[in-house]
Amino acid sequence: MNGKKLWDSADDNSWKFWMNDREAILGIVVILLIIGSINIFSSSFVLSETYYDTPYFFLTKHGINVCVGIVFFVLGAYIDYHYWRSWIVWIFLAVVIMLILVLIIGTEVNGARRWLQLGVTVQPAEFAKMLAIFIEAAYISSRVAIGGKCQLFHAQMGVLAFLFLLIEREPDGATAALVIGVPMCMLLLSNMPRQTKFILLGCIAAAGVLICIIQPYRLERVLTMLDPWQNATDSGYQIVQSLQAIGSGGFWGMGLGQGISKYHYLPEAHTDFAFAIWCQENGFLGAFGVILLFGAFTYYGTRIATSAKDAYGQILAAGIICLLVGQAAANMLMVGGWFPVVGVPLPFISYGGSSLAVCMGAVGILFNIGSKNAPPKTLVTSAPPAEEESAYRRPRLKRIK
């Protein structure tokens, strides 16, 4: 609904909240970035002062990360989204090489190798998330183009399983789950037969149980989630401290900078548990505001997805929404004690350079899809004419004579 008003008024038909869905998405992301910057400073200045003799250490690094993120957003917004399909092989090779290098020469922190020093610190697994979306979007749109149904087992799934295993070796189970889980969600949104979708849901549930059984510490996290107070000084410490931070915020919050959990009570206060500090200082109103922003992002992102002019744009946009909103939901549920403790950052709010760069790049691609929108239609439920789809499959640059 490009160019339409948020509401009509008999008195003033010229007042428009925003002109189109892209502006809505951009406005929401800017607000989330502002919230994130404020919260990162508030939640990290104690840690910064303690270890780096300045309260602005993490805020300064976050400012640099935001600038890099803006570059990624611009690239995603101005490069035609069809070109990403043509570059999948090269992106795949680059990501796989980085993932292998992480296992060999990566920086180890708390028993995990997830970071690669390339002049700057890079977390390659974050880029594998977008790669997985590109791969699955290419498969689904190719099936739609020929009028075929998507299948559960296909060649691309083997590629995703390979990425999953590389990331799992770090180990980084949460990111590995997203690399395989987001494409599964994309399949559920595709024209896959209904019976196959039920089989897919069963496979997802079985895989979750298997992962917990193979890695006992993950099963312990699940059991701890059920009753964190039983092990409040051991395995349940983070969840208990997070719940105390949220509860102490009440309705209005303690006020910006006034939260006490960041004083070495709550681990990872500026990264995985940044939302707990936000709740403590801004209360229920602040928490509800962030949830509302992600809800609005889902709404306008879905409008962009359903308005895309081809199946590839539709399912690519849907994958981006599943990634960003799914991460946000997982993080907030984890912080609230409704989900096991996993290393899933809250998009745009948690501290992390690679995560922010990928999120901003994903929003840029969503922005680009919205710039080429068409009248809304149902999301990838029927096959468009093959010639129409093929016109958008592999755009070619014109040869200059």
pLDDT(66) > 80: yes
Task: Quote the number of domains for the chain.
Answer: 1
Provide the domain limits for residue 51: 21-390
In a domain, 9, yes or no: no
Structure tokens at 111: 């028993």
Task: Please report whether residue 4 resides in a domain.
Answer: no
Q: What is the mean pLDDT of the chain?
A: 88
Among 84-88, 134-138, 231-235, name the one with the lowest average pLDDT.
231-235
Report pLDDT for 210. 81
Residue 397 placed within a domain: no
pLDDT digits (tens, 9 = 90+) for 93-115: 999 999 999 999 998 887 788 99
pLDDT at 395: 44
| Residue 267, domain member (yes or no) | yes
pLDDT at 374 over 70: no
**Rounded mean pLDDT of 338-349?**
91
Residue 58 scores a pLDDT above 80: yes
| pLDDT band with cut points at 50, 70 and 90 for residue 1 | very low
In this predicted structure, the answer to whether residue 193 has a pLDDT above a threshold of 70 is: yes
* In the predicted structure, residue 10 carries a pLDDT above the cut 60: no
The answer to whether residue 139 is domain-embedded is yes
What value does the mean pLDDT take over residues 255-284? 94
Q: What is the reported pTM?
A: 0.89
Whether 14 maps to a domain, the answer reads no
Q: Please state, for a pLDDT cut of 70, what percent of the chain lies above it.
A: 89
